Amino acid sequence: MTASETALKLAANTIRGLAIDAVQKADSGHPGLPMGMADVAVVLWTEFLRYNPQAPHWPGRDRFVLSAGHGSMLLYSLLHLAGFKLSIDDLKQFRQLHSKTPGHPEVTDTEGVETTTGPLGAGFSNGVGMAIAAQMEAAQFDNPLLMSRVFGICSDGDLMEGLSHEAASLAGHLQLGNLIFLYDNNGITIEGHTDLAFSENIPLRFQAMGWHTQSIDGHDFEQVRAALKLAVAQNDRPNLICCKTTIGKGSPNKANSHDCHGSPLGKEEIKLTKQALGMPLDDFYVAPDALALFKNTAALNVAAYQQWNRDMQAWQTRAPETAKQWRAFCDRTLPKDLYAQLITSAGDAASLATRVLSGNVIQKAAELVQSLVGGSADLDPSTKTRIKASASFSAKERAGRNLHFGIREHGMGGVLNGMALHGGFLPMGSTFLVFADYMRPSIRLAAIMRQPVTFVFTHDSLMVGEDGPTHQPVEQIASLRLIPNVHVFRPADGMETAAAWTHALSRRDGPTCLALTRQNLPKLARAANFNPDLVLRGGYLLRNVEAAKVTLIATGAEVSLAIDTATLMSQQGIEVRVVSMPCVELFLAQDAAYRAAVLGTLPVFALEMGRPEMWCQFTSRIDRCIGQSVFGASGPAKLVAEHFGFVTAKVAERICAAL
């Protein structure tokens, strides 16, 4: 459907009015972007974007990503006009506590929002992940109906952030022809005009990365329409449409100024703006013809939705077994005996690194769970995350389950989040633990969005050895544990590694981080009647003795060190209970009675090669937390461990001194 210029202009001005009124009422927000991109957005939403407010999670829908999340009133206005469950009253509650219209779009709060955006560049990378997911899903199930398109709006700020560079480079390399971003090139940031710090040629940069690019007047409806038509037709590479716009368009005194970037226009300027736009002065006015335009679009989209369902039903009739697999994929179905099978797959070797054990587990998990996909930031030989039975996803091979992210840790995190948001997939990505710092913002967003992403980190301690302090993580595990809703698993052997993966694949309300060793670890000795399900409770009593005088908690590689220390101290007449706590967050979620039984009533010590302060919640005293508070040193791993006191005699000495 091609709307008249009059209808499009009225719809765009309605969006401008809603945006400035909501920001004014909240006395907070960003009116400039919605005012500047309203013309582009109404063409996209009324003539190109496929969506259905009555079935907001329809798998065949297009995804729309507002990467410039500060302009959230643009998206909220569009959702209201399009018929999603977002009323005028909801718009009036913009930026208020518990509203459906928070300051930046949140996927958990508002129907129709596809991803949480605001940290610039994050939405852009999510869009790349969504485009990869659509390509992969369509290829794996040999069904072009599953090839959804991804449209997005990004800003100058998005394209300054390094995250967008990483994601755009990968998208161009993979030739993601189902990805179209509209760049709001308004030349304004918070401090002023972008020429303060930004002068590069964006079209040339994106062309160099393998994108199609166009440059248009973002206020010319016909140019917007023509550019989108061409971008949709050019589906062999991703597309960037550079839209030259005026921030705050319509405001007589604040347009093309940073004054309207992040502040209300003010009552007098709003009055002048509405007069200039030819709009009524009423607050939150919605033009009937604007609603009619979106209603006509809705009718076409419902017809497309119904046709898609008919076509999908025909496909399911033709390919019932594949359709059954697809439904299991969509539901992220897991076998009931997943944990038992993963324990077996880890192997029964007397000594292996947990990164190797994890690699063994991944092979079985990939066989059992089609949703599992992922890769590494150029480190698979070390992180062991390659699914051996599958090809790699590439520009020529779309069905592959292995992803090569290149040396782009932050981009990897954003892409993984986008794949999870797309639905169906349980994505994983890996690098060395020390480089978790490069992707921390994406991990944090996965936690905020409650997405089931698994971040696999290896080389998890000083035992990296010769690579030295630049590669030896000290503060990273503690830092990850500080992020709300992140579960950090640090397994000590095969059973615990299988438990870590079982939890990661089962979790549906947030991300899981696995911290794995470079060095070999011994298989832990457990009682014959030991219940493996205890590991899934995050912490459990591994060594219990009569007349114990102390309880020692340890994680990962330090669990075997704790056992050896307990044996040595027993010879000295001091008995030690040992608790393995592979996941602190899971343990804290257990009932009080269980936690009390595991920790006991004796003095508690903790042992971990990392920042020790977090363990005070169990020990009550920092001198009972045996950890690492300074950077490491370069040298053979065993000598580094001895130098910093992570050997049995020195650990025992620390415990005795504190007792």
Q: Does residue 504 sit in the same domain as residue 542? A: no
539-548: average pLDDT: 96
587-596: average pLDDT: 98
Q: Does residue 616 sit in the same domain as residue 565? A: yes
At 3 the pLDDT is 78
Residue pair 93/99 in contact by the 8 Å Cβ criterion: yes
Burial, 226: exposed, middle or buried (Cβ in 10 Å; 0-12, 13-18, 19+)?
Answer: middle
Q: Does residue 491 sit in the same domain as residue 567? A: no
At 2 the pLDDT is 78
Which has the closest alpha carbon to 40: 60, 66, 69?
Answer: 66
Q: For the chain, what percent of residues have pLDDT higher than 90? A: 98
Residue pair 580/534 in contact by the 8 Å Cβ criterion: no
Residue pair 548/578 in contact by the 8 Å Cβ criterion: no
Q: Does residue 349 sit in the same domain as residue 470? A: yes
What is the maximum alpha-carbon separation in the chain?
90
Helix (H, G, I), strand (E, B) or coil at 550: strand
Q: Is residue 296 part of a domain?
A: yes
CB atoms within 10 A of CB 89: 11
Integer Cα distance of 86 and 63 in angstroms: 18
Q: Give the pLDDT band (50/70/90) at residue 355.
A: very high
Q: Is residue 314 part of a domain?
A: no
Q: Does residue 548 sit in the same domain as residue 491? A: no
Q: Does residue 545 sit in the same domain as residue 514? A: no
Which residue among 460, 495, 522 closes a domain? 522
75-80: average pLDDT: 98
Helix (H, G, I), strand (E, B) or coil at 557: coil
At 282 the pLDDT is 96
Q: Is residue 569 part of a domain?
A: yes
Q: Is residue 94 part of a domain?
A: yes
The per-residue pLDDT for range 172-191, each reduced to its tens digit, is: 999 999 999 999 999 989 99
- CATH number of the CATH domain containing 207: 3.40.50.970
Q: Does residue 249 sit in the same domain as residue 114? A: yes
Sorted by sequence, the CB contacts under 8 Å of residue 566 that are 6+ apart come out as: 543, 545, 552, 575, 576, 577, 578
Question: For the chain, first and last CA: distance in Å?
Answer: 78
Q: How far is CA 120 from CA 10, 163, 164, 251, 645, in A?
A: 30, 8, 8, 25, 43
398-411: average pLDDT: 98
How many domains does the chain fold into? 3
134-158: average pLDDT: 98
Residue pair 435/409 in contact by the 8 Å Cβ criterion: yes
In this structure, what token pair is assigned to residue 162?
Answer: 């390094």
At 1 the pLDDT is 59
Range 466-475 burial, b when 16+ CB lie within 10 A, else e: eeebebbbbe
Sorted by sequence, the CB contacts under 8 Å of residue 195 that are 6+ apart come out as: 187
pLDDT above 90 for 509: yes
The per-residue pLDDT for range 60-70, each reduced to its tens digit, is: 999 999 999 99
Which residue among 522, 548, 571 closes a domain? 522
Integer Cα distance of 515 and 358 in angstroms: 10
The per-residue pLDDT for range 613-649, each reduced to its tens digit, is: 999 999 999 999 999 999 999 999 999 999 999 999 9
Which has the closest alpha carbon to 18: 197, 342, 280, 260?
Answer: 280
Packed helices 72-82 and 5-26: angle between N→C axes, nearest 10 degrees:
120
Q: Does residue 193 sit in the same domain as residue 99? A: yes
In this structure, what token pair is assigned to residue 329?
Answer: 């994929």
357-379: average pLDDT: 98
- DSSP letter for 644, please: T
Amino acid letter, residue 620? S
Q: How far is CA 607 from CA 340, 553, 610, 623, in A?
A: 29, 6, 9, 11
The CA angle 461-462-465, to the nearest 5 degrees, is 120
550: containing domain: 534-658
Q: Does residue 117 sit in the same domain as residue 216? A: yes
Backbone angles phi, psi at 606, to 5 degrees: -130, 145
Which residues are catalytic, by number? Answer: 409
Sorted by sequence, the CB contacts under 8 Å of residue 118 that are 6+ apart come out as: 69, 70, 103, 104, 105
At 145 the pLDDT is 98
Residue pair 587/566 in contact by the 8 Å Cβ criterion: no
Strand partners, 374: 402, 428
Q: How far is CA 340 from CA 481, 495, 532, 554, in A?
A: 27, 9, 9, 24
Which has the closest alpha carbon to 59: 180, 181, 147?
Answer: 147
- CATH number of the CATH domain containing 607: 3.40.50.920
Chain CA centroid to CA 302, Å: 31
pLDDT above 80 for 382: yes
Q: Does residue 297 sit in the same domain as residue 345? A: no
CB atoms within 10 A of CB 69: 28
Q: Does residue 539 sit in the same domain as residue 513? A: no
- DSSP letter for 250, please: T
Which residue among 456, 488, 522 closes a domain? 522
Integer Cα distance of 647 and 551 in angstroms: 18
Burial, 5: exposed, middle or buried (Cβ in 10 Å; 0-12, 13-18, 19+)?
Answer: exposed
Helices and strands in the chain, H and E counts: 25, 20
Q: Is residue 276 part of a domain?
A: yes
Burial, 13: exposed, middle or buried (Cβ in 10 Å; 0-12, 13-18, 19+)?
Answer: buried
Which has the closest alpha carbon to 240: 326, 153, 166, 298?
Answer: 153
pLDDT above 90 for 594: yes
In this structure, what token pair is assigned to residue 543?
Answer: 């060594």
Write the DSSP assignment of 34-90 as a string of letters: HHHHHHHHHHHHHHT----TTSTT-TTSPEEEESSGGGHHHHHHHHHHHTSS--HHH
- DSSP letter for 609, please: S
The per-residue pLDDT for range 8-29, each reduced to its tens digit, is: 999 999 999 999 999 999 999 9
Residue pair 555/490 in contact by the 8 Å Cβ criterion: yes
Q: Does residue 644 sit in the same domain as residue 586? A: yes
Which has the closest alpha carbon to 470: 438, 441, 501, 502?
Answer: 438
Q: Is residue 324 part of a domain?
A: no
Average pLDDT along the chain: 97
Q: Is residue 326 part of a domain?
A: no
535-557: average pLDDT: 97
Q: Is residue 528 part of a domain?
A: no
